[in-house]
Amino acid sequence: MNILIVLIPVSVLLGAAGLAACLWTLRNGQYEDLEGDAARILLECDVLTEAGDTRE
């Protein structure tokens, strides 16, 4: 039971760190353009195919 004195504050601190990291990513615009990265991969592949590169 004495281990709970250590484990409960550690778990609260880890949860707070995760919440802080999530809020930090929201404030820095990590989720602003969700479709851009997915489309960028497809567009780069099309550009390579048009240039004559047949690697996949």
Domain ranges in the chain? 4-50
Q: How far is CA 55 from CA 43, 47, 49, 51, in A?
A: 15, 12, 8, 11
Per-residue pLDDT reduced to its tens digit, 4-51: 999 999 999 999 999 999 999 999 988 888 787 777 777 765 555 555
State residue 56's pLDDT score: 53
Start-to-end C-alpha separation, the chain: 58
CA dihedral over 44, 41, 34, 16, signed as positive or negative: negative
